[in-house]
Amino acid sequence: MNILDVVQSRKTCKAFDATKPLSKAQIEGIKTLLRYAPSSVNSQPWHFFLIESEAAKARIKPAMMEANQAKVMDAPLTVVFAVSNHLDDAALLHIADQEDQDQRYPTPENRAANEQGRKFFVDLNSKTREMQNHWCERQAYIALGTLLLGAEALGINATPIEGYFPEKMDEVLNLQEKNLHSIVVVTLGFSSKEDYNATLPKSRLPEDEIFTAL
């Protein structure tokens, strides 16, 4: 499917068919989309919780606002996006070591220069802990966009959800102990006949309102 067709056909799913599971290949595709999503200086300051079992759905249900609980219970997969509370030097070294393992550096000098550049940019966005948190969250939203378009290309319906209780979600998933906090939830599966949005036309502002050619 052409990417332009994907972006024009994708719609937020309002109701999922609980009788239609995702295949193993589709779940692996979703994981690939998230794993290979871009991030600034390849920082990857994220962790994704895959909610598949009925027990896991019931566990996070109290953390969802009432209007979104049915989506979690009916969708075959829910992804909770979390990001690091603190991206420290050890995390940056771990990234560099993985890049080295993946043969990203032709020479030790290339690695040293890349590490220096990454640390400079992370520090630039880490004047305060809150500033760094916001920067990490922005990286995860790049992964969110990648997932939404990629899921459509795989024939999977998706719903991004900010309508949940972050403190409760962090509690039920023990995120504080993992140096993480949640930022957004995505339900994935297939639309049911109750999904009224599936048949509605898309609506966007006209080009002359959102583009300025200089």
**Beta strand spans in 18-76 (E):** 46-51
Q: Which residue is listed with tokens 């589709």?
A: 26
Q: What pLDDT, on a 0 to 100 scale, did the predictor assign at position 60?
A: 98
pLDDT in tens, 86-120: 999 999 999 999 999 999 999 999 999 999 999 99
Beta bridge partners of 12: 158
Is residue 34 a contact partner of residue 48, using CB atoms and an 8 Å limit?
Answer: yes
- Annotated active-site residue 207? The verdict is no
Q: Which residue blocks in the chain are alpha helix, DSSP H?
A: 3-9, 24-35, 54-60, 66-74, 89-101, 108-124, 129-153, 166-172, 207-210
Look up residue 173 and give its DSSP letter: T
pLDDT in tens, 118-173: 999 999 999 999 999 999 999 999 999 999 999 999 999 999 999 999 999 999 99
- Kindly give, in sequence order, each residue whose CB lies less than 8 Å from that of residue 98, ignoring residues fewer than 6 positions away: none
- Annotated active-site residue 71? The verdict is yes
Determine which one of 57, 71, 115, 137 is catalytic.
71
Residue 1 in this model has a pLDDT that exceeds 80: no
Q: Per CATH, is 3-87+126-195 categorized as 3.40.50.300?
A: no
pLDDT in tens, 45-86: 999 999 999 999 999 999 999 999 999 999 999 999 999 999
Give domain limits for the chain.
3-87+126-195
CA–CA gap between residue 181 and residue 178 (Å, rounded): 9
Please, what is the Cα angle at 187 between 183 and 190, to 5 degrees?
A: 165
Determine which one of 28, 162, 167, 171 is catalytic.
162
